[in-house]
Amino acid sequence: MENTVTVTIDGITVKVKPTATILDAAKQAGVRIPVLCADDKLHPYGSCRICLVEIEKSPRKFTPSCTTPVADNMVVKTMTPDLFEARKRILELLLCHHPLDCPVCDKAGNCQLQDLVHEYGLGPSKFTEKKRVVPPNYKSAVIDREVARCVLCGKCVRVCREQNAVGELAFTRRGKESKVSTDFDQQLDCEFCGECVEICPVGALTTKQFKYRGRTWNMERTQSVCNYCGCGCRMVYETRQGRIVRVRSAARNYLCGKGRFGWDAVHHADRLTTPLVRVSGELVPATWDEALAMVVTNLNVIKNKRGADSIGGLGSVRTTNEESYLFQKFMRSAIGTNNVDMLARLKVPKGLNTTFFSGELSNISGHDVVLVLDGDVAELNPLTGIEIVRAVNRNYKKLILVNSGYNKLNRIASCVLEYVSPDAALADLLPALKSGQGTGAVADAAAILKEATSVAVIIPARLPDGTYYQVRELLSLLKGATTYPVVKRSNFLGALDMGVLPGYYPGYQKVSPDVVSRFASAWNCMLPEIPGKNALEMLDAIKQGSIAALYIMGDDPAGSDAGLKPVLEKLEFLVVQDIFLTETAKMADVVLPAVSSAEKAGTLTSLERRLQGISPAEEPLGDAQPDWNILQTVAKKMGSAMHYASPSDIMKEIRALVPLYADLAVGSVWPAEKSPLHGSETNLSLLSDSVEKNDVITSERLLFSSGTTTTRSKELTTVCTFKVEA
């Protein structure tokens, strides 16, 4: 039986944990206490005093509810005439220096101070001194600081330090001169996540992107999911007259710089708006009919002349589950080959989804110790980084960090193992765990790990064979270990789940007579019975001439490895579906314009294996079409029966054919044990010494740059010159 205390708030009696504050108890009782400086993301602070309440039999007249713990049989009143007057006075004092420039303030309509002043109905003030004049600071990239509007609640300072471990903002000076400052009031040099802007209760922090672009009450809002990395952060598109003007995190969620500011790539001038076909060596605009006729004719000719296996398909980690599903269905049924794969498999840890299934990120704080084997995790999967910081700063858990450089995690780590790579660190750590050998940091780390009853292990994005076995040994030595692999790309897991794999049908159902006949009868067609070539084998086959045509959906091999250009040049026919004219698209015979994730519906599967829905916030640009619709049109013209009115039709089919997704509700995670590959030795990653899958990056910080899309975000290019901390 858990220990609880009984508290009565405005006549409502609730049982709460003894560690709860009065504010927590009030929330549980369904009673609203007004707040400014309190936030669920942060430790209680108690700077604004708006949340004052009266406690019966207390020697104090008023007590701040956000910082005061409950006591048994406490009786609290949250609204009395005296409290009303007290809060009114506090607001009056806050307004002493707050400029009333609400008509030009981006926060107006969504401002906690404005709402409270409205609620408490302030009239003329008896304080008549002049307002403090503090010039605004527009020096920073992305974020503007309207210093005069600041009410010194400290939320930005605290979120930057407690949640992000960045500490870019701090209160400097004292008393009436105190203000929120950056390092020596210079321009911001931080992660540019914009969490400070989001949490600011007034308009002291605003974004350049949104300035004078619209009023908050005129926005239409569309719930969606960020499509940059594998974390799958929920977000809200705010649109005005059909155009996105702002992206915000969904309540109590987090967004990094890419998620919050990187959406403007959707409006980049490089977007493809019409199909392109190669005529006399040049790509020229064409109609859909012309372009599709060229695709169908050429694919049919090559298929008839050289067989279906002379055609290959490379899928994408950016497209939705429905599109990935349709892509492999298209390759298997309309073309008739199992040559379907993704080059992104070069960039994921060995053992992903066979040995290492990710736990839910929000559970990282629940472990005694977090062991980070990849020092770059906070750059590659920012939300994982935030959860690690939360574990340390909010839940007082220990962090053991393997990192050769220095970044924000170093500042909060209990123990830092300075090794050039995880395998070097594990070479020393494993003996220390087994037999107590080792000195210094390794011995400290081993001692911490031995004491722990549960450990969160962050698995590096790159995991060669040797390290893979070391990590497996490590996991066998730890008590209660849960793995959290780093997955850089947004829908990598979804694409795997949907069978964009040469040897597996959707749901990791191995290409075998049983499975093939099941899918053949469901799809009402003939299907190839031998597994296809993986991405690397396909590239080799192109070199040797046995693959003559390639169908690429949403990937840019030539952009990520220039060495692949001569390989792709050997193709007789190349089709590329993309939203930009990438290096690969420039080489294509037909380029089909697709739409971005802001213009289509569907589902994504995050690295936690969580199924989440995206929704269109804008109409498709120009003649561009969603990938799923392009695929079904091509398939139909090639004689396949595909009739989907919307992505949800495709999802219905997926649910019928893929046991993992059969009753997987949107928002929930499919259980690891249900996967046919659970615990098997199958390797879903590819490893190659010759082919690179470099990110097309413009920044030294992977945090701001992950390739094709981020390089076309105006906001992200303004911050991409910022270096990794020295």
Can you tell me the distance from the alpha carbon of 136 to that of 384, in angstroms, rounded to the nearest whole number? 34
Nearer to other proteins, 191 or 627 (CB): 191
H helices present in 478-573, as ranges: 492-497, 513-523, 535-544, 557-560, 565-569
Using the contact rule CB under 8 A, the part of the chain among 68-76, 141-149, 165-173, 710-718 near other proteins is 165-173
State which residue, 154 or 336, has the beta carbon closest to other proteins. Answer: 154
Choice between 183 and 572, CB closer to other proteins: 183
Whole-number Å distance between alpha carbons of 417 and 400: 7
616: Cβ contacts below 8 Å, ≥ 6 apart: 222, 598, 599, 600, 601
Strands 5-9 and 74-77: parallel
410 binds other proteins (CB under 8 A): yes
Residues 552/535, Cβ–Cβ less than 8 Å:
no
Asked whether the beta carbons of 196 and 205 are under 8 A apart, the reply is: yes
Q: Which two tokens stand for residue 36?
A: 């400014």
- Please compute Rg for the chain using Cα positions: 28
Write the single-letter amino acid at 52: L
User: Do residues 725 and 406 make contact, with C-beta atoms less than 8 angstroms apart?
Assistant: yes
Q: How far is 518 from 659, CA to CA, in rounded Å? A: 13
Choice between 172 and 274, CB closer to other proteins = 172
Distance CA 568, CA 547 (A): 10
Q: At what angle do helices 422-435 and 440-451 cross, to 10 degrees?
A: 60
Q: Compare residues 400 and 650 and give the one whose CB is closer to other proteins.
A: 400
Binding status of residue 140 toward other proteins by CB under 8 A: no
> What angle in degrees, to the nearest 10, is found between the helix axes of 112-120 and 81-97?
130
**Least distance (Å) between residue 406 CB and other proteins:** 9
Q: Does 411 bind other proteins (CB under 8 A)?
A: yes
Give CA–CA dist 593/276, Å, rounded.
8
> Least distance in Å: CB of 99 to other proteins?
24
Q: Determine, following the binding rule CB under 8 A, whether residue 392 of this chain makes contact with other proteins.
A: no
Give the residue with the Cβ less far from other proteins, 288 or 406. 406
Contact region with other proteins (CB under 8 A), list: 166-174, 319-327, 462-470, 642-650: 166-174
Residues paired with residue 592 on neighbouring β-strands, in sequence order = 577
Q: Could you tell me if residue 202 is left (phi over 0), alpha (psi between -120 and 50 degrees) or otherwise beta? A: beta
DSSP-H helix ranges across 144-215: 155-158, 195-199
**CB 483, min distance to other proteins, A:** 28
Task: Provide, rounded to whole angstroms, the least separation between the CB of residue 181 and other proteins.
Answer: 6
Please identify, using beta-carbon distances, which residue of 177 and 514 lies nearer to other proteins.
177
Side-chain half-sphere exposure of 506, counting CA atoms within 13 A: 30
Binding to other proteins (CB under 8 A) within 170-199 occurs at 170-174, 181-184
Q: Interface with other proteins by CB under 8 A: which range of 53-61, 159-167, 278-286, 298-306? A: 159-167
- Binding other proteins (rule: CB under 8 A), the pick from 155, 161, 367, 390 is 161
The least distance separating other proteins from the CB of residue 458, rounded to whole angstroms, comes to 21
Phi, psi of 361 (to 5 degrees): -60, -35
Q: Kindly tell me which of 84 and 171 has the beta carbon lying closer to other proteins.
A: 171
Q: Which of 323, 216, 252 is nearest to 647 (CA)?
A: 323
Both tokens of residue 392?
């340390």
Toward other proteins, which CB reaches closer, 415 or 607?
A: 415
Helix (H, G, I), strand (E, B) or coil at 94: helix
In angstroms, give the least distance from the CB of 169 to other proteins: 6
Neighbours of 601 (CB within 10 A): 18
Task: Work out the end-to-end distance of the chain between its first and last CA atoms, rounded to an integer number of angstroms.
Answer: 50
The tokens of 357 are what? 């299934």
Between 127 and 171, CB nearer to other proteins: 171
Name the residue type at position 262: G
CB of 249 to other proteins, least distance (A): 24
Which of the ranges 116-124, 167-175, 394-402, 571-579 carries the binding residues for other proteins, by CB under 8 A? 167-175
Token representation of residue 677: 């590959």
Number of residues that bind other proteins (CB under 8 A): 16
Q: How far apart are CA 215 and CA 236, in angstroms?
A: 16
- For residue 484, the minimal CB distance to other proteins (Å) is 24
Q: Quick one: 184 or 212, whose CB is closer to other proteins?
A: 184
Give me the least distance between CB of 175 and other proteins, in Å please. 9
Strand pairing partners for 553?
A: 577
Query: What six digits make up the tokens of 695?
Result: 């990110």
Q: Which is nearer to other proteins, 328 or 407 (CB)?
A: 407
List 69, 109, 167, 620, residue binding other proteins (CB under 8 A):
167
How far is residue 499's CA from residue 47's CA, in Å, rounded to a whole number?
A: 54
**Of 168-176, 246-254, 277-285, 630-638, which part binds other proteins (CB under 8 A)?**
168-176
In contact, 21 and 70? CB cutoff 8 Å: yes
In angstroms, give the least distance from the CB of 172 to other proteins: 5
| Residues numbered 211-250 forming contacts with other proteins, rule: CB under 8 A | none
Q: Min. distance of Cβ 162 from other proteins in angstroms?
A: 12
SS3 content of the chain, % helix, strand, coil (to 5): 35, 15, 45
The token duo for 629 is: 């619709």
Instruction: Kindly tell me which of 169 and 308 has the beta carbon lying closer to other proteins.
Output: 169
Measured from the CB of residue 164, what is the shortest distance to other proteins in angstroms? 11
Min. distance of Cβ 194 from other proteins in angstroms?
18
**161 or 329: whose CB is closer to other proteins?**
161
By the rule CB under 8 A, 403 interacts with other proteins: no
Least Cβ distance, residue 397 to other proteins (angstroms): 15
Exposed/middle/buried for residue 99 (C-beta within 10 Å: 0-12, 13-18, 19+): middle
- Smallest gap from Cβ 177 to other proteins, in A, equals 9
Indicate whether 169 belongs to the interface with other proteins (CB under 8 A).
Answer: yes
Q: How far is the CB of 410 from other proteins (least distance, A)?
A: 7
3-state secondary structure at position 14: strand
> For residues 56 and 185, which CB has a smaller minimum distance to other proteins in the complex?
185
**What residues contact 497, with CB distance under 8 A and at least 6 apart?**
321, 506, 507, 508, 605, 609, 658, 660, 661, 670
Q: Which stretch binds other proteins (CB under 8 A): 35-43, 163-171, 675-683, 692-700?
A: 163-171
Binding flags for other proteins, 351-390, as an x/- string (CB under 8 A): ----------------------------------------
Stretch of 30-38, 88-96, 103-111, 161-169 lying at the interface with other proteins (CB under 8 A) = 161-169
Closest distance to other proteins from the beta carbon of 183 (Å): 4
Should residue 697 be labelled a site residue for other proteins when binding is judged by CB under 8 A? no
- In angstroms, how far is CA 171 from the centroid of its own chain? 30
Q: Which residue number, 102 or 412, has a Cβ lying nearer to other proteins?
A: 412
> For binding to other proteins (CB under 8 A), which residues are involved?
161, 166-174, 181-184, 410-411
